[in-house]
């Protein structure tokens, strides 16, 4: 029962943060992009980071609620994901020197998320 409450609390907090992020992102793209350059435009374009900050807050609260085993699993998965991401981004940096197209920094975040999920799944499979 306790585990279910933890998961539900995390889901509610993360869902709220993701929905806010999405709403601010749509506003930033639709309203901010066509605006004239200036401080207001800049603030509007970075406003989705409020939702991102709330996502980090939800993750930190979740880590504080779970037991030591889950904390260790999360830490190891994120660490492996970060290592994989570092290796891939360094490799692609060398490929850019060879003429490959430059990628957006947003792609690093996607690689980190996927690498962390793969590491988590592999850890779970290994422990069976």
What are the pLDDT digits (tens) for 20-51?
Answer: 999 999 999 999 989 999 999 999 999 999 99
For residue 127, pLDDT over 60 is answered with yes
What are the Cα distances from residue 73, in Å, to 33, 99, 114? 40, 39, 16
Note the pTM of the prediction, 2 decimals: 0.78
What are the pLDDT digits (tens) for 44-94?
Answer: 999 999 999 999 999 999 999 999 988 998 999 999 999 999 999 999 999
Q: Cβ(32)–Cβ(41) under 8 Å?
A: yes
pLDDT of residue 1: 57
């Amino acid at each position: 029962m306790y585990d279910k409450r933890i998961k539900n609390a995390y889901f509610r907090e993360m869902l709220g943060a993701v929905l806010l992020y999405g709403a601010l992102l749509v506003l930033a793209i639709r309203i901010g992009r066509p605006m004239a350059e200036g401080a207001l435009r800049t603030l509007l374009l970075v406003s989705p980071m409020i939702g991102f900050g709330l996502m980090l807050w939800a993750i930190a609260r979740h880590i504080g609620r779970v037991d030591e085993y889950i904390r260790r699993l999360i830490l190891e998965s994120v660490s492996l994901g970060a290592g994989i991401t570092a290796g891939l981004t360094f490799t692609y940096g060398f490929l850019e020197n060879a003429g490959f197209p430059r990628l957006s920094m947003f792609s690093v975040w996607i690689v980190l998320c996927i690498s962390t999920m793969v590491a988590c799944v592999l850890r779970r499979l290994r422990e069976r």
